[in-house]
A and B are shown apart, each in its own frame.
Chain A
Amino acid sequence: MSTQLLVFQVLNGLGIGMIYFLLSVGLTLIFGLMRFVNFAHGAFYLVAAYMAFAITRWTGSIWGALVVAPLAVALLAVIIERILLRHTYRMPHEAQILITFAVALLIQEAVIIVFGPLGQNVPPPTSLSGVVFLGPYVYPAYRLAVVAVAAFVAVGLWLVVERTKLGAVLRAGSESAEMVGLLGINVDRVFMTTFALGGALAGLAGVLAAPLRGVEPFMSVEALGIAFVVIVVGGLGTLSGALVGGLLIGLVQSIMSTLWPQGAQLMIYASMALVILARPSGLLGRF
């Protein structure tokens, strides 16, 4: 591999990694605070992607979806949390997995009924449909914009978690929800807010991913798989873990697609296995 190609694959890997971070950050946020395993995360991503498709078809542009879809998915997440999931918080993880898996299947089938089983195209905004030249490298403008949004989300979430009162409550809740409750904070509402935020982040990822890979009803499974790999590698429940995990997986995938293309996908899971062996709690995990 030439140096120029290696440098490009590293840059591309960082870009993929930021997209993977965006995919997984909502999942890790919910687990970090609520210790809740949300298998419906991919379905939230799916709903937002299809909203992006529908809004783009109606309005001719994806911009509206960037606002509407995350909010709508946050609302959907709250409804599901209020009606179903809050009853499972004290149940074992198996019950949470089963019920969120069922929700994911229901959403997927609903999408097939409404939109059909075939993939559809979501064009990027016209202003971002070309390529940009980074020295000798060519990179899609839209992909670069998604990386920028992911970086913005990472910084924004870090500020919220580390520098605001809400963040302090979230961090305290992740240590001991009971103690936070005893301090007079409505833990139930904090959980609901966290779930809505996690849903909104999944929604944002879905909207941004739609022009990158189109939409099709089974995209949720792929997103959920990547999200779990990222947070297992980075460390369950930590924002920095999702970022580091995403970047590591992106780099492995990109570099291996030149060094050993047929094994690139395999190496993602091999990396995960190695991390689990060396650090069972993930690279930045606390458990």
Chain B
Amino acid sequence: MTIDRRALLRGIATSPVALAAPPFLRHVSAQSGTLDIAAVYSLSGTFANVGTMLNDGSRWAVEKYDSVLGKKLNYLLLDDRGDPGEAVRKVQEVMTERGVKHIIGCTNSAIALAVQKEVYARGGIYVQEAGADESTGKDCNKSNFRWPVASYSAVNATVRPLIEKFPDAKKWYTITGQYVFGDSLLTNCKEVFKEKGVQHVGNSYHSLADREYSGYIATALAANPDVLAICNFGNQTVDVIRQAISFGVKRKTKILAIWSTGLDQYQALGPDNCEGVYFGCNFWHGVDTPGGRVVADVVKGKTGNVPNYLHACGYAVAQVLLEGLIKAGTTDVPAVIKALEGMTYEGPTGTEMVRPEDHQVIKDYYLMFGKAKSAMKDKNDYAEILAATKAFLPPEKTGCKMT
């Protein structure tokens, strides 16, 4: 067997030896006065439209901060093409070859769960926007932080108040995306239904590739539910709502999209489809807060419009990391993790806090109700907030054993 010089160098660079190598081999960019912030987003695949806007939000936040601790920030986009395996490979590459330690972003929960393990194993820090409970639950780790609420919170901040608002709506049907996040929403729904004595009259799973939902909707209609709860995300939420309404579901049944991305989805649905539909939402531009005003200014400067959830969420994950770096006064990962634990800051939804026990950001989740077109005060005034709730599992019940 022979080995050439290039293969030998490549082997050394990717081996554990490289990981243990002196900092001057790896932190070239740090030495030159810049700090790399790697962002993992899907710019193609089923959720590419989500990934593209999240990426915009994160990039604009990095541009807004420009530099921290005297180091110019350098935004590195890692396009995972919607594939967790690709995401992990790209994260491995930048961590081993460029020595990057500070990573943000994900487009779906499966990607976040894969990346958070990888970043932890390689001694980095990761702030992301997954929805699955596991992220800050049983799969939590010291390196991982999450900005949006978990699916537990989304369900408890929407399903629970809706059950209380309509005590006669006893029959609920769910349409669920068969992926980590959809299942996580469904599991939490079932627990609330059980606790509240609500009858779960059926569930239809759909796959990640589905775009035609009429068959599922027909099955749901046959069960004659009082409420149709939609447990998925992205374009699939919009498609299910649109098709359900076209089949006349709204005539007799309330529709609840437990997890929506807010404004961009309302625009995709149009006011006629939004009217009378209940939505769960992580961010709403109409909530006036100091942090929200900063995001609004940044987004207005870039798009001329108000921020949507995707912009705000992308912005927030970068903001959390950068505020942690500033508070720590160093780029050293253990120090930044320590600084982040318990940190409060002015985030897009108001004063937000990073819970030390599981690294979950504690913030409001909104239950919203679609307005009639005639009631809209401006072109973005699609919905009103019915409830703003911080519904989080107590740390001891999340299943998180911080390592």
Do A and B actually bind?
Answer: yes
Which residue of B48, B52, B205 contacts A262 across the interface (Cβ within 8 Å)?
B205
User: Can you give 19 A-B contacts (C-beta < 8 A)?
Assistant: A13-B215, A16-B214, A16-B215, A112-B52, A117-B53, A119-B238, A120-B267, A120-B268, A140-B246, A143-B214, A143-B246, A212-B246, A213-B212, A214-B239, A218-B44, A257-B213, A257-B214, A257-B219, A261-B219
Which residue of A2, A119, A140, A256 contacts B222 across the interface (Cβ within 8 Å)?
A2
Interface-side segment among A3-11, A59-67, A68-76, A85-93: A3-11
- A-B pairs, top 6 by smallest CB distance, nearest first, are A257-B215, A121-B270, A119-B268, A262-B205, A140-B246, A131-B248
Chain B, residue nearest A218 (CB): B48
Knowing A143-B246, A214-B238, say if A257 contacts B216 (CB, 8 Å).
yes
B89 interface residue, CB < 8 Å from A?
A: no
**B222-A5 in contact (CB<8A):** yes
Within 8 A of B (CB), among A200-214: 212-214
A255 interface residue, CB < 8 Å from B?
A: yes
The distance from the CB of B238 to the nearest CB of chain A, in whole angstroms, is 6
Within 8 A of A (CB), among B316-338: none
C-alpha gap A129/B251 in the complex (Å): 13
The distance from the CB of A173 to the nearest CB of chain B, in whole angstroms, is 34
A235 interface residue, CB < 8 Å from B?
A: no
Which residue of B49, B206, B207 contacts A217 across the interface (Cβ within 8 Å)?
B49
**B214-A262 in contact (CB<8A):** no
Knowing A5-B222, A12-B214, A118-B267, say if A218 contacts B49 (CB, 8 Å).
yes
The distance from the CB of A258 to the nearest CB of chain B, in whole angstroms, is 5
**A9-B210 in contact (CB<8A):** no
C-alpha gap A119/B46 in the complex (Å): 12
B357 interface residue, CB < 8 Å from A?
A: no
The residue in B49, B205, B211, B215 that gathers the most chain A C-beta atoms within 10 A of its C-beta is B215
The distance from the CB of B50 to the nearest CB of chain A, in whole angstroms, is 9
A264 interface residue, CB < 8 Å from B?
A: yes
Contacts of B210 in A (CB 8 A): 264-265
B204 interface residue, CB < 8 Å from A?
A: yes
Chain B, residue nearest A260 (CB): B205
B273 interface residue, CB < 8 Å from A?
A: yes
Contacts of A8 in B (CB 8 A): 218, 222
**B270-A123 in contact (CB<8A):** yes
Contacts of A119 in B (CB 8 A): 49, 235, 238, 264-265, 268
A interface size (C-beta, 8 A): 43
**A138-B248 in contact (CB<8A):** yes
The distance from the CB of B312 to the nearest CB of chain A, in whole angstroms, is 14
Which residue of B49, B53, B215, B267 contacts A258 across the interface (Cβ within 8 Å)?
B215
Taken residue by residue from 223 to 262, chain A's Cβ proximity to chain B (1 for < 8 Å, 0 otherwise) reads as 0000000000000000000000000000001111110011
**A9-B215 in contact (CB<8A):** yes
**B206-A261 in contact (CB<8A):** yes
A148 interface residue, CB < 8 Å from B?
A: no
- 14 A-B pairs besides A143-B246, A265-B210 with CB distance below 8 A are A5-B222, A12-B215, A120-B267, A121-B268, A138-B221, A213-B242, A213-B243, A214-B239, A214-B242, A253-B212, A254-B214, A255-B215, A257-B204, A261-B215
Contacts of A120 in B (CB 8 A): 267-268
Which residue of A123, A212, A258, A265 contacts B218 across the interface (Cβ within 8 Å)?
A258
The distance from the CB of B358 to the nearest CB of chain A, in whole angstroms, is 30
The distance from the CB of A285 to the nearest CB of chain B, in whole angstroms, is 25
A142 interface residue, CB < 8 Å from B?
A: yes
B209 interface residue, CB < 8 Å from A?
A: yes
B178 interface residue, CB < 8 Å from A?
A: yes
Taken residue by residue from 107 to 134, chain A's Cβ proximity to chain B (1 for < 8 Å, 0 otherwise) reads as 0000010000111110110000111000
The distance from the CB of B182 to the nearest CB of chain A, in whole angstroms, is 11
Contacts of A218 in B (CB 8 A): 44, 46, 48-49
Knowing A16-B212, A213-B239, A257-B219, say if A265 contacts B206 (CB, 8 Å).
yes
**B209-A265 in contact (CB<8A):** yes
Knowing A119-B235, A262-B205, say if A222 contacts B246 (CB, 8 Å).
no
Contacts of B238 in A (CB 8 A): 119, 214
**A262-B269 in contact (CB<8A):** no
Contacts of A101 in B (CB 8 A): none
**A253-B49 in contact (CB<8A):** no
B166 interface residue, CB < 8 Å from A?
A: no
B272 interface residue, CB < 8 Å from A?
A: yes
Taken residue by residue from 222 to 266, chain B's Cβ proximity to chain A (1 for < 8 Å, 0 otherwise) reads as 100000000000010011001100111001000000000000110
A266 interface residue, CB < 8 Å from B?
A: yes
Knowing A213-B239, A214-B242, A217-B49, say if A118 contacts B219 (CB, 8 Å).
no
The distance from the CB of A46 to the nearest CB of chain B, in whole angstroms, is 13
Taken residue by residue from 19 to 59, chain B's Cβ proximity to chain A (1 for < 8 Å, 0 otherwise) reads as 00000000000000000000000001010110011000000
**B215-A121 in contact (CB<8A):** no
Contacts of A140 in B (CB 8 A): 246-248
**A4-B222 in contact (CB<8A):** yes
The distance from the CB of B253 to the nearest CB of chain A, in whole angstroms, is 12
